[in-house]
Amino acid sequence: MTLSQAIRHIEKQLPELELLKDEPMERHCSFRIGGPAAAFARPRGEEELEYLCQLLAGADVEPLIVGKGTNLLVTDGNVERFVIQLGEGLSSVRRVGQDRLYAEAGITLARLASAAQEWGLAGLEFAHGIPGSLGGGVFMNAGAYGGELKDVVTAADFLDSDRERFRLPAARLDFGYRHSVFSDADTVILGAELRLTPDDPEAIRERMRTLAEKRRASQPLDLPSAGSTFKRPKTGYAAALIDQCGLKGYRVGGAMVSEKHAGFVVNAGGASFADVLAVVEHVQETVLRETGVELEPEVRIIQ
């Protein structure tokens, strides 16, 4: 089936589904860049998501799964994809034991960390300031300030490429630096179980506050971006290498290497997809030439 035939098929089979056509992706990406998506669906729950994914598999259409769009750089041309956003409809969290939580993939890491804090469960303080969803976080093993999701996730539920539901324990999730078993697979993460550590809610809140201050002091949170543009190389830090090459403030059109944090490419106003790519490529070429280090984008690029 072509994409437009598949969209018509979905409309017939799932008339209740919230399905937007030609929906600008810039509305759903923290970079504020992204052209119209052929279809943009927001399932209201797991059952609807599962059925939608099965229908798309039957139509031989691989959806683009997104959470909060905070690690995405999307083309500003037509996005010929069926986008499925996991958000409000899949954002429940519940306690499943004294020190365990189960959360759906669409919950934001901020809300998840706050829920844990209120229940007096420590271990997610690092995640409170990461602006993505749990699904996006598990996908790339999000981390900050010495913590990573792999430290707390004990199992994840997902739909495989045949849209069958599976659960894998953490030992089989192949977690590594900004990587998981899901990073290179056509899978849909549905939720995860986490094990945390009982602690005083006020102490947890205080640690979250301290990390939020650190983040505000060092990151350009006032400008749209997708966070750290590059992964940490094997030697050194991307931001330090970029700074060392004198690239802070390097600009093409509306895209710029942040003056505040050289690891962030920011949208300083009206940046196009091509502007950001030009800055990314210039940074990669310059850092390689000047320091011999190859920088790999952390941001997922959707052409």
The catalytic residues are 178, 228, 298
Length of the chain as a residue count: 303
Query: Of these, 107, 140, 155, 241, which contacts ligand FAD (CB under 6 A)?
Result: 140
| Residue 125 main-chain phi, psi, to 5 deg | -55, -40
Among 123, 131, 263, 297, which residue sits at the site for ligand FAD (rule: CB under 6 A)?
131
- Choose between 55 and 178: whose C-beta lies nearer to ligand FAD: 178
Rounded to whole angstroms, how far apart are CA atoms 190 and 90?
A: 8
* Of positions 66, 103, 152, 239, contacts ligand FAD by CB under 6 A: 66
Do the beta carbons of residue 123 and residue 198 sit within 8 Å? no
Contact 112, 128 (CB under 8 A): no
Query: Which of 68, 150, 163, 261 is in the footprint of ligand FAD by CB under 6 A?
Result: 68
226 binds ligand FAD (CB under 6 A): yes
- Let me know: does 16 contact 49? Beta carbons within 8 Å: no
Minimum CB distance to ligand FAD, residue 94 (Å): 18
Angle, CA of 24, 69 and 271, to the nearest 5°:
60
Least CB distance to ligand FAD at residue 13 (A)? 22
Rule CB under 6 A: say whether 105 interacts with ligand FAD. Answer: yes
Pairing type for strands 64-66 and 79-85 reads parallel
Shortest Å distance, C-beta 188 to ligand FAD: 5
C-beta atoms surrounding 77 within 10 Å = 12
Work out how close the CB of 198 gets to ligand FAD at its nearest, in angstroms, rounded to a whole number.
25
Q: Is residue 132 a contact point for ligand FAD (CB under 6 A)?
A: yes
- Report CA-CA distances (Å) from 163 to 170, 187, 226, 252: 20, 8, 29, 42
Which two three-digit tokens encode residue 33? Answer: 């860049």
Closest contact distance (angstroms) between CB of 204 and ligand FAD is 18
Q: 170 to 209, contacts with ligand FAD by CB under 6 A?
A: 182, 187-189
Q: Which of 251, 268, 262 is nearest to 218 (CA)?
A: 262
Q: Which of 25, 41, 65, 153 binds ligand FAD (CB under 6 A)?
A: 65
Q: Which single residue is written with the structure tokens 């994409």?
A: 3
Residue 123 vs 132, nearer CB to ligand FAD:
132
Kindly state whether residue 225 participates in binding ligand FAD, applying the rule CB under 6 A.
yes
Tell me if residue 91 falls in helix, strand or coil.
coil
DSSP annotation of 258 reads -
Told to check if 91 binds ligand FAD by CB under 6 A, we report: no
Q: Point out which span in 14-22, 95-103, 137-145, 204-212 binds ligand FAD (CB under 6 A).
A: 137-145
Hey, which residues between 233 and 252 contact ligand FAD (CB under 6 A)?
none
Among 24, 87, 123, 136, binds ligand FAD (CB under 6 A): 136
> Does residue number 300 form part of the binding site for ligand FAD (CB under 6 A)?
yes
Our CB check for ligand FAD shows the closer of 121 and 127 to be 127
Closest contact distance (angstroms) between CB of 54 and ligand FAD is 16
**Exposure string for 94-119, b = 16+ CB within 10 A, e = fewer:** eeeeebbbbbbbbbbbbebbbbbbeb
Place of tokens 């094990």: 195
What is the binding site for ligand FAD (CB under 6 A)?
30, 65-72, 86, 105, 130-133, 135-137, 139-140, 142-144, 182, 187-189, 219, 221, 225-227, 300
